[in-house]
Amino acid sequence: MIVVYNADERFAEVFATSLVSLYENNRDIDELKVYLIEDHISAESKTKLLHLAEGYGRELVMLVMPDLNELAGVNVEIPQYNRMATCGRLFIASLLPQKVEKAIYLDCDTIILKSIKELWDIDISDYAVGMADCCQNSNLRTQLGLEKDGTYYNSGVMLVNLKRWRQMEAERKFLAFIQSQGGYIPFPDEGVLNAVFNGQILRIPLRFNALTMIYAFTYKQFCYAKGVKNFYTAEEVEAARRDPVLIHFVSNFYLPVRPWMQGCEHPYADRYLEYRKLTPWNSQKLWEDTRPMLNKVYTIFCHAVPKAVAVWTAHVLSLYVLPLKHRYKKMAYIRNMSKKGSSIHS
């Protein structure tokens, strides 16, 4: 079994926690090889990670993150809530050995609670990738130039058909799409994957990517908050909530603080900290909440008002305000890049 992550120095300890959870709950898998696409991780952190893997009798292979800006020929805008390292997943097909035809990709902000053999055994021979529905409304798809009706997928957990990626020259198409957008994509790697693989994505069960929102709200509440109509059924969501295989600590406006930060209220935060204690970073202090003040005020507001009001506010922001924000930021970003290009050539 092949598992791939990406991380930079700041998230090395977060990756270590996910790695421990993977090793602890997949002892039944004889051959488990992990590749880490690393973006300037320090020599000290690399040594810690390699020793951690050796302690479990597992092989951890470090791969260097390519320069996305250089390959795309444009400066790629990375929002403040994201990191350039997250784009490493776009290069899995070329970074991994050609003989590897299938892999599981995991974000480092996940913990694995059970064996992932069931995920590995899903047949994706007719698809480019398997991903979970992200519970986003059609605005994200239309911003990517896709038809309104359809699903927007979360790239935090992927079952990757590397053979198909290579056959269709996926990486060339990724870079071409980034260029066509002038380097600005609301969710850089995720948006690219949704656009390029439109119609070639297998929807996997949500229990393999249990997102924070299913623990923050009822089924009706988060569907309304996001303005979605074609999500998993209530029964499928309840199955994921009750019996998850992977927990994905993606930030949510109601539960924005993640378990490596002070003050996390996620129901699986304690489980995360149990795995963190088994890493070389176990004595490090939890991070402070460094979110912008406006984000913090919004969270305080959502907890101060009745939950129905918080959900309605999120609905309005998701359907009307955020799409306008992304359109404006894209126009401003491309205009700014054009000015810089003109000044360089003048």
pLDDT of residue 346: 45
Q: ∠ at Cα 128 (122, 131), nearest 5°?
A: 60
- The mean pLDDT of the chain is 90
Burial class (CB in 10 A: 0-12, 13-18, 19+), 155: buried
pTM score, two decimals? 0.92
pLDDT at residue 80 greater than cutoff 60? no
Residue 154, beta-bridge partner list: 132
pLDDT at residue 343 greater than cutoff 50? no
The class of domain 2-345 in CATH terms is alpha beta
Predicted confidence band of residue 3 (pLDDT cuts 50, 70, 90): very high
Question: How large is the average pLDDT for residues 300-326?
Answer: 89
pLDDT at residue 43 greater than cutoff 90? yes
84 or 99: whose pLDDT is higher? 99
3-state secondary structure of 343: helix
Helix (H) or strand (E) holding 158: strand 153-161
pLDDT of residue 66: 87
pLDDT of residue 73: 80
**Are 266 and 255 in contact, with CB atoms under 8 Å apart?**
yes
* pLDDT per position as a tens digit, 202-226: 999 999 999 999 999 999 999 999 8
Range in 45-59, 140-154, 329-343 with the lowest mean pLDDT: 329-343
Q: Distance between CA atoms of 112 and 247, rounded to whole angstroms?
A: 7
Range in 33-47, 94-108, 332-346 with the lowest mean pLDDT: 332-346
| DSSP 8-state class, residue 88 | G
